Amino acid sequence: MNYNKAEFTVSYGTFEQIPPSDRPEIAFSGRSNVGKSSLINKLLNRKKLARVSSVPGKTATINFYSCENVYFVDLPGYGYANVSKAEKRKWKSLIGGYLDDGSRQLDLVIQLIDMRHAPSKDDLSMINYFIDAEIPFIIVFTKADKLKKSAREERMRAFTTEIPCFEDITSIEFSAVTGEGVEELRELLDELTEDAEITPVETLREDTSELDDYDGDHEDDDSEDGEDSGNPFGGFLTPNRKKLN
Ligand SMILES: Nc1nc2c(ncn2[C@@H]2O[C@H](COP(=O)(O)OP(=O)(O)O)[C@@H](O)[C@H]2O)c(=O)[nH]1
Ligand SMILES: [Mg+2]
């Protein structure tokens, strides 16, 4: 893929605005300030395609970047303090709606984790969600340049016990400052998207109508445990997406 061809396409503030996907999507997930915008800019060889900020952003939007026949999807960052309930709800329905929509061509989620720290509760909720929902994902450890060799080795060792199923998860150590890991990430994405095609949405609709058969016991999921579950996500991370296999 020619990563220089990426263009910002569109931002959505609510899940309902997002049209059906007409091409493979690669989504980026991570807590606010983890280095998501910096990684997207590095990957796509641009200085300011995604806005980098020292102050965590306040607006939850899903941003789409197109690159050849693929969309890169920047999910809103989670986990920053002092956010209103209304904003949390918005975040929840955006990310929850997007990830839970089994009809999207979600080829991969790239889950970012700051290499300097143990994964947060929210990071672990995301990872467990991907595992339960069978959403393909990899982990990118960010800000590798900020750790000395020994501290870095210690952190990487700790991740093997802190992150569930770590030995089965592909992970990349990354730095937006030194560029470490960017080629490895590009190669992985190239392999994943080499046959990527844009499919007209009308055709997609016809195709997916047959998938209704797969919608097994969709109804008795317990995804309504809401605000009082003790889960920082308010319980939306209960997979009920349609399983296609
Ligand atoms: N040293 C270092 N700083 C980084 C790296 N990636 C991001 N940052 C800094 O971390 C802060 C948050 O980055 P940003 O990309 O906006 O994070 P986002 O909120 O996840 O999109 C900014 O001050 C960045 O300059 C990295 O790889 N190394
Ligand atoms: Mg950002």
CA 164 vs. chain centroid, Å, equals 17
* Least confidently predicted of 12-21, 53-62, 76-85, 95-104: 53-62
What's the fold here for domain 3-198? Rossmann fold (3.40.50)
The pTM of this model reads 0.85
pLDDT at 215 over 80: no
Q: Which ligand is nearest to the CA of 36?
A: 1
Residue type (1 letter), 230: G
Q: Quick one: pLDDT at residue 221?
A: 46
* Ligand 1 centroid, distance to 190 Cα (angstroms): 24
* Ligand 2 centroid, distance to 200 Cα (angstroms): 30
pLDDT confidence band for 47 (50 / 70 / 90) = confident
**What's the chain's length in residues?**
245
* 38 close to ligand 1 (CB < 6 Angstrom): yes
Atom 26 (ligand 1): residue with closest C-alpha?
143
* Ligand 1 centroid, distance to 34 Cα (angstroms): 6
Higher per-residue pLDDT: 34 or 224: 34
* 119 close to ligand 1 (CB < 6 Angstrom): no
Residue 91 to residue 61: CA distance in whole angstroms: 8
pLDDT confidence band for 60 (50 / 70 / 90) = confident
Residue type (1 letter), 42: K
162-214 pLDDT, tens digit each: 999 999 999 999 999 999 999 999 999 999 999 999 998 877 666 555 555 55
* Ligand 2 centroid, distance to 244 Cα (angstroms): 32
In percent, the amount of the chain with pLDDT more than 90 equals 64
Q: Quick one: pLDDT at residue 53?
A: 61
Which run of H or of E encompasses 129? Answer: helix 121-133
Q: Quick one: pLDDT at residue 48?
A: 81
Counting ligand 1 atoms within 8 A of each CB, the residue from 38, 42, 51, 147 with the most, and so the one to mutate, is: 38
Q: Quick one: pLDDT at residue 145?
A: 98
pLDDT at 223 over 50: no
* 54 close to ligand 1 (CB < 6 Angstrom): yes
Residues 6+ apart with CB under 8 A from 223: 235, 236, 238, 240
Q: Once rounded to an integer, what is the mean pLDDT over residues 131-157?
A: 97
Q: Quick one: pLDDT at residue 81?
A: 74
Domain residue spans of the chain: 3-198
Q: Quick one: pLDDT at residue 211?
A: 56
Phi then psi for residue 224, to 5 deg, are: -105, 20
* Ligand 1 centroid, distance to 38 Cα (angstroms): 6
pLDDT confidence band for 52 (50 / 70 / 90) = low
